[in-house]
Amino acid sequence: MAPRDKTKKASDAAKPLDFKALVQGLPHVVVVVDATNRIVFANFAAENFFGLGEALLKKRALPALVAFANPLTALADQVRHTRGAVNEYELDLAMPDRPARSVDVFASILNEREDYVLLMLQQRNMAAMIERQLTHRGAARSVSAMAAVLAHEIKNPLSGIRGAAQLLEAGASEEDQPLAQLITEETDRIRDLVDRMEVFGDERPVSKDAVNIHSVLDHVKRIARAGFARHITIQQSFDPSLPSVPGNRDKLIQALLNLVKNSAEAIGDKNDGVITLSTAFRPGLSLRLPNSDSSVKLPLEIGVSDNGSGVPEDVKPHLFEPFVTTKAKGAGLGLALVAKIVGDHGGVIECESRSRLTTFRMLLPMYQPSARKTGAI
């Protein structure tokens, strides 16, 4: 090593660390509040989290940023009173005009200023999303096992029942014919339900090609406008530079068509109904799956939003599970199928919903030309 290089390294080692720069570089939300819970410092992650710049954040106190009686303010007061650090897990953080978030919180007194409290928030959205997706896939496997039994134990007898009903209808009186027709219609409905369940039993790898997701969304929009969403405004907000998705075009159309149809049904007959289709590139998003040493990069975000009635709070945690529905005549398999298709493409799906704004987000990997069609992404 040259003497000049040694001198430079020694000089760099002697420089004091810029701790503010280190905190600004953290991916987690970091804020410092004073004795009145007014913010005196916020890093870049906090600005993104609260949707405000540091200058505006410094003009506000915690109670103005979170919903009334939110435990985050009480947590800061507790730390200030006990003089000890506190960890809180899975804290539901509600904020005015922003979606609720689930966070883990670390709170501690600052040594230099004992009336100041440092709060570090780690969003659980991504980890919880992966956990829920694995749960949904497990539930889908249970449905596929059930469908295999139903296909044999129910579909075969149904054919006999349907045939008998048709024979009865041919010889029935005019008064009894509607009853025979009802038997035929109901057996067809049960058969169709079993057929839909059998889709979950298809465990074959998805053959993946480079798919232009904007072409898929345009196709879905044309179908929607020509049919179930002809009375609804469909907007789009696309990132034109978005790279291709590794996937099966037909299955992606099926998944997105399901989401758009759900949005149209949530809007109903409202005159001001709007569905927004969006795409975005989120660089740096990398998720590590449980029991795996590899990370999954999911930089491509495809969104379907609507201004309908929203999803009931008690349904949200189970939204992608089979047989969960808010529709009076729904089978509860549509969103479960969407979750399966997204999972088969190596991605995850999440929903954020409040009154007049519900958004489904599909996060998918980017196409790699060297990957085999049915192999690794």
pLDDT for the residue numbered 75: 84
Residue-range domain boundaries for the chain: 21-123, 128-201, 209-364
329-343 average pLDDT score: 74
pLDDT one-digit tens code per residue, 53-88:
888 898 888 888 876 556 788 888 888 888 878 887
Burial class (CB in 10 A: 0-12, 13-18, 19+), 304: buried
pLDDT for the residue numbered 129: 53
Burial 14-42 (b: 16+ CB within 10 A, else e): eeeeeeeeebbeeebbbbbbbeebebebb
Confidence of residue 322 (pLDDT cuts 50, 70, 90): low
Four-way CATH pick for 128-201: 1.10.10, 1.10.287, 3.30.1920, 1.10.3470: 1.10.287
How does the average pLDDT of the chain come out, rounded?
77
pLDDT for the residue numbered 373: 46
- CATH node for 209-364: 3.30.565.10
Confidence of residue 3 (pLDDT cuts 50, 70, 90): low
Confidence of residue 306 (pLDDT cuts 50, 70, 90): very high
Q: Which range, of 62-76, 154-168, 196-210, averages the lowest pLDDT?
A: 196-210
Is the pTM value of this prediction over 0.75?
Answer: no
pLDDT for the residue numbered 27: 79
CA distance 206 to 215: 19
Burial class (CB in 10 A: 0-12, 13-18, 19+), 240: exposed
Most confident among 117-121, 149-153, 213-217, 283-287 (mean pLDDT): 213-217
pLDDT for the residue numbered 4: 53
177-198 and 125-150 helices, crossing angle to 10°: 130
Q: Which range, of 222-226, 242-246, 290-294, 321-325, averages the lowest pLDDT?
A: 290-294
CA distance 170 to 261: 38
Stretch (H or E) spanning 349: strand 348-354
Phi, psi dihedral angles at 200 (to 5 degrees):
-70, -20
Q: Which range, of 95-104, 198-207, 360-369, averages the lowest pLDDT?
A: 198-207
Residue 300: CB atoms within 10 Å: 24
pLDDT for the residue numbered 377: 47
pLDDT for the residue numbered 140: 53
Can you say how many angstroms the Cα of residue 109 is from the centroid of all Cα atoms in its chain?
35
Both structure tokens of 369? 């030309």
Which strands form 117-123's sheet, in the order they lie side by side?
39-42, 29-33, 117-123, 98-109, 86-95
CATH fold of the domain at 21-123: Beta-Lactamase (3.30.450)
Query: Which residue pairs, CB below 8 angstroms and at least 24 apart, start in 200-206?
Result: 200/140, 200/141, 200/143, 200/144, 200/147, 200/322, 200/336, 200/337, 200/340, 201/144, 201/145, 201/147, 201/148, 202/144, 203/144, 205/344, 205/374, 206/247, 206/248, 206/251, 206/344, 206/345, 206/374
Q: Which range, of 118-122, 315-319, 339-343, averages the lowest pLDDT?
A: 315-319
Q: In the predicted model, is pLDDT for residue 374 greater than 60?
A: no
CA-to-CA separations, 53 to 42, 44, 46, 72, 293, in angstroms, rounded: 9, 8, 9, 20, 37
pLDDT one-digit tens code per residue, 239-292:
988 999 999 998 899 899 999 999 999 898 888 999 999 998 876 555 555 445
CA distance 33 to 160: 73
Burial class (CB in 10 A: 0-12, 13-18, 19+), 54: middle
